[in-house]
Structure 1
Amino acid sequence: MDIITLKLSVTHCFLLKTKEGYVLIDTGYEADWELFRRRLQEAGVEFSQLRQIILTHHHDDHAGLLNLIVKENPRIQVVMSRCAKELLARGENDAAHPKGVINRRVRLLLTLKRFIIMLTLKKYVPKNRNLKFPPYEVRPNDILISGETRLEAIGIGLKGRIIKTPGHTIDSLSVLLDDGDTLVGDAAANMLRFAGTKYCVIGVSDLDEYYRSWQRLIAAGAKRIMPAHGKPFSVDKLIANMGRNKKQNMVMVSQGRLEKQLR
């Protein structure tokens, strides 16, 4: 299907058109607000046309704009993993499941992250906002996903399903459309491959679970992978790179230490 990409400072969000309006996949950083509004306008889409937001996971670069978008259109339903509810209410990336940076080269490059965001947005981003976002309280009309769910079953007029793809986080979800297009959030990525990411996202909480999620997507019929970070790519890349990153090469970083590195 025709998918509209909204390129923000670091995150790619996506719009899926339905008869009723649009489904938004992820939202970006809190600091992306003006850029998000501009991208939406460039796409010719009004806030009033947004019907659902499907959140691939709770991280700051995916959930940072939830409150602002819902304020613009309170009728929007937010669809998320049931595991995301408490994490969103805390307003910070999950510290209970420590992240491992995929290798030492990527860990070094992470120190540049905040500066890249500021250059992209052309504005100052406070140091203390790393890994934090405005807390979001789940509302009665929001939808919590516990397992594989057809989109039609939750009132979304698209042929496809939501699949649990944990590994990056415990609440990670992917949207697999029946034509094979798959919006994976951070369940895969196409960035920093020169540094050895091998189509993994830069930070993973459980590498074995991460690769099992790849296997799940492959078995379910994914064809084109559309990650939140980097350009779309063929599922063949997941098949070819399955298991190539090793746990012994990862650099385990607690949230507190990682936040200091990003300042």
Structure 2
Amino acid sequence: MEIITIKLSFTNCYLLPVNDNYVLIDTGYDYEWKLFREKLFEKNISVKQITHIILTHHHDDHAGLLNNIVSENANVKIVMSALSPGLLEKGENDRTHGGSLVNKRVDFLFNFKMLYLSILLKKKLDKNTNLTFPPYKIRNGDILIHEDTNLRDIGIDIDGKIILTPGHCVDSISILLDNKIAIVGDAAANFLQFAGTKYCVIFITDINEYYSSWEKIIAGNVREIYPAHGKKFNVKKLVKNIWKNKPENMVLFTK
């Protein structure tokens, strides 16, 4: 199966072809609607061809365009963790479960805010990024994932399954395809390696849960990891780096 990458300013979204339609994984920030539309146009894909959106979690850089897409394609079904609806209705990244930056070097970078990160990453990060997004209210037809679930069981004609992968946040889910590809949202990342992230995303709610989710992904017999941030990589990177970031080195996120 061809995995189509929709690379937005900061987030990788993915399209999975299903007959003449597509399943979209994640949506990007709310201010990226024009860019998102342009990326689809470049690939000769219409918003109305998207039958399902699998939301890996509720954060602003993943859920920001839900309302835009639904307003243009009322038939699209949003697939999400059973823990996501209340978080999406609030319209902000959940902080009630705590969370920390993965190490002191990442915390150092955050102290310089968006300007410093923009220089390091050689890309512009929008000043409006503030961990909020347009609230989304679940609709009839949207699909809640309570446990590991085969895609065909929820009407998606693809061989694979959705698994629960908490740790980055409580409602994190990942997609394991039978062709040995895992699309993981922020359950892993290939981003800021120079700062010692070791394939972790920079913000983690529970590091033990996070690495337990890695174990689950590794056990899923996958070969390649497609993250929301950074380039795809071999699952051997997870095997090599699992449990390398220590809880005692993390810095409480209070920004």
**TM-score, scaled relative to structure 1:** 0.92
Specify the alignment match of 2:60 in structure 1.
Answer: 60
1:221 to partner: Cα distance: 1.1
In the other structure, the counterpart of 2:50 is 50
Structure 2 counterparts to residues 225-244 of structure 1, below 5 A? 225-244=225-244
* 1:41 is aligned to 2:37: no
CA distance in 1, matches of 2:139, 2:83: 15
> Deviations 1:10-62 (Å, cap 9, x if unpaired)?
10000000015100000001111111111111121101100000000000000
Give the deviation of 1:85 after TM superposition: 0.7
Q: Tell me what 2:99 maps to.
A: 99
RMSD: 1.6
Give me the whole-angstrom Cα distance separating, in 2, the residues matched to 1:176 and 1:113: 34
Contact map agreement 1:35 1:121 (CA 8 A) in 2: no
Q: How far did residue 108 of structure 1 move?
A: 2.1
**Of 170-179 and 107-116, the range deviating more from structure 2:** 107-116
Structure 1 partner of 2:77: 77
Question: In structure 1, what is the Cα distance between the partners aligned to 2:113 and 2:24?
Answer: 25
Partner of 1:261: none
Give the superposition deviation at 1:120. 4.8
Q: Is the 8 A contact 1:91 1:134 kept in 2?
A: yes
* C-alpha spacing 1:53/1:84, structure 2 compared with 1 (3 Å): same
Cα distance, 1:104 vs structure 2 = 1.2
Report the CA distance between 1:125 and its aligned residue: 3.6
Looking at structure 2, the residues matched to 111 and 23 of structure 1 have their Cα atoms a distance apart, in angstroms, of: 37
Q: Which residue of 2 aligns with 1:252?
A: 252
Structure 1 window deviating more from structure 2 (13-22 vs 206-215): it is 13-22
Measure, in 2, the Cα distance between the counterparts of 1:110 and 1:65: 25
Alpha carbons 1:27, 1:61 under 8 Å: kept = yes
Counterpart of 1:149 in structure 2 is: 149
C-alpha distance in 1, partners of 2:45/2:32? 17
Matches within 5 A, 1:177-256: 177-253=177-253
* Number of aligned residues: 251
Q: Which amino acid aligns with 1:95?
A: R
Where do 5+ consecutive residues of structure 1 fail to align?
259-263
Q: Secondary structure at the match of 1:85?
A: helix
1 CA distance for matches of 2:37 and 2:127? 18
Q: Please state how far the C-alpha of 1:171 moved relative to its aligned partner.
A: 0.3
* Contact 1:20 1:51 (C-alpha < 8 Å) held by counterparts: no
Identity in percent? 52
